[in-house]
Structure 1
Amino acid sequence: MNELKSVVRGQVWLPGDPGFHAARRPWNLAVQQPVAAVVEVADAEDVVALVKHARAAGMTVTTQPNGHGATGRTDGAILLRTRRLDTLEISPATRRARVGAGVASGRVQAAAAPLGLTGLPGSSPIVSVTGVALGGGLSWFGRAHGWVADNVTAFDVVDAEGHQRHVTAGSDPDLFWALRGGGGDLVVVTALELALHPAPRLYGGRVLWAGEYAAPVVDVFRQITATAPDELTVWLDLLHFPGGDPMVAVDATYLGGEDEARRLLAPLGRLPKPLSDSRKVMSVAELGSITAEPVAPSAGSSWGELLTGLDDDAAKTLLAEPIAPLLSVQVRHLGGAFTRPSDSPHGPLTEPYAIYMFGIPADPDTALSITDRQLSLAGSLPVSGRKPFTFLSPGENVSDAFSAEVVIRLRDIKRRRDPRPVFCGNFPVAD
């Protein structure tokens, strides 16, 4: 493996090197990530050199900017870090951004905001745009503009033979389709082109109550989401942090003015006095402040599902027992543009809600109780049987996200484009 250090110009860590363990560490510290080497490439040419080397050596390459979504299926692989692929170019005239594979969502938002534009950011500003797009991508503004992947217009990639290619719907329809949500198992994406959208005004924030008011908050959440326009996104959060009391929150963003946002969210004002209310006119660069997710690696155990509805019975089930040992149970309102035709592996997202359950597995017993609570809650709610790719957890596979026909098509593309294989994604399509 020492020859790797002469193959690429970027940084290489081998077992035994100082910093190797830190370099291979995934974002989720509960995931073990055994690898043969870690390479932080300097540029796209470095990716070419690395892929050709791996191909000749009979090794696999798994790509991660900073380890979000890691599943530990990396034994013997070369872990490719793309953080230094940090190109960001925005064209206000065409409302397009060229985004390097290492660029985080928050950086795109910070650059687009002064131009009155926005990308499609999720809840965390530190997740890479490329990683989210390869998994389809649920955004704050997905109700208005669909999957993040629907808004990708081109990919710059290195294929399994080490060739750099520019992939569009016209140049390679099969691969373009697969990359818009089918995962990172087919090529290395070095950059993508993303459509931006006008966002001259934005109103948003979190309203937080004591947990004793969870039932009326859930009722109001259902009332608001029943008639919400596509520009309004509302999420419900059941929260219980260690050492604290249960709480319930409503997170919201509205692509429009404050007066109209307050009118649409007026039912919240009829609830008991909240513990806090951070709603305000804000920049699209401030979206990460709403949920204030961690910005440093930590251990976590998550489980997600899509809900076919949130009727009275489902609402009662959601609140029937405390969420502990979970820290959070989040219900996201979907609908809107998610339901429209999508030439992507996911296709239209017709389920009206998604649920995401999260806990911290501090020890094996806690880890087991977290999993039991997640599966018990999911099993008692009206789930559809599929889930967004980015909601997949270690132990699941692409069949949990896609229809059988889509899995067959993805596997056929994998066999034709990467038969050896050279690439191994977090969720390999061949599983």
Structure 2
Amino acid sequence: MTQPEFNFFQHWYPLALLADLDPKYPKSITLLGIRLVIWKPQGQQNYQVFLDECPHRLAPLSEGRIDEKTGNLMCSYHGWEFNSQGVCSRIPQAENPELVKDKFCVQVFPTREQQEILWVWADPLSAELAAKTSLPLSPKIKTENGFVWSRYFRDLEYDWLTLVENIADPSHVPVAHHGLQGRRENARSVPLEVVESTLNLIEVKTPGYLSSIQFEPPCRLEYEIAFPTGKKMQILVYCIPVLPGKSRAIGLFAQNFAKSLHRITPLWWEHIMLRNLVFDSDMILLHQQERFLQQNHPEKTWKTAYKMPTTADRLIIEFRKWFDRYCQGQLPWKQLNIPVPEYFPFNDNRQQLLDTYHQHTQHCSSCRKALKTIQRLQLGLLIYFLLTVSSVALMSDSVRSYWGIPLIAIALFGLGIYGGLKYYLEPKFYFVDYIHADKK
């Protein structure tokens, strides 16, 4: 009997969080090696996703603009315009209007918008199948179920295969994320039991509060955590293949407790104080791990290179078997003529690997706005300090003796706040080195 093959393209993928998109600007994004452009036609409710290539001379449409009069996507190279169906509606250089009519189209990808996410179907030629296929959603992450939830987006400097492996590994959490999501001294056995393993689902269960983990290929990995007190958590991470050696994670985190605290905590604060650090604490480990596997064990497979004697690694073993069985141990880069290097190159530049700004901040609307506000506050505090010191210097002796000290004290207090914003808070949006040995 022929083994079924997994088709990476005929699936729904989360492409972007709706809250992070700006309808005024086209946005470039890569999925499965395909450069896409997200844009919203003026006056319409939903975003569109096109191949990021103008059919004229292949200029990136993501560098274009939304025309104010027509509401269409305009290529910034020669001004060709495309409507929401991807049909070229205007060529400024055309001598004959009939030249334009339905002849030059951009490839359009099926989309949906649900659970505050823009979804895309990765095969534009199977739109009918897309319409019949349900989204890989979690039924738990709904406010009507009594949960509150938050979101997170991060571009990562390691492969999709490594990302899935990492998220499917609960035993690393108290060690790799010491002080963030557990403590290393609490690391213990995790007896996982595989209850289902098919082409379309792998599920494991374990006794205790971590009741189940599900992997729905190609991207949904979800933890269900139920505590004896009745508190529940859902951790849902969508693992998205971008390019060889690069991936993307979109995380949704739901809970039915501490709701008031959750609602008053700004999303950007959660990101810089927790979510960024969790991914930072894995980044260098995983970036180098997959390269050690490639370069130090070229004649070996994961079966011989990895040493996994405990049941804590059972889901990783099952996932690796699934990948070998249904994907022949490779992602579909050859189908797209994307060259895959024999070895992914090492990057020892920690600032590039932990580049929070380009991997997260620039994409996150909450963090972008917070960063701008922090920078404006710094400028205001600095101007206030300079103006206050100058004003006190120009005062008469009698006025200065009365007002000078309190005004200078307030100015120095503001300067202290400036220092905290400049040297403590602002760097968290750009780069903070993560040193595991420093985490006591």
Task: Indicate the TM-score class for this superposition, using the shorter chain for normalisation.
Answer: under 0.3
TM-score normalised according to structure 2 size: 0.22
The TM-score normalised by the length of structure 1 is: 0.23
Tell me: higher relative CO, structure 1 or 2? Use CA pairs within 8 A at least 6 residues apart: 1
* Bigger fraction of residues in helix: 2
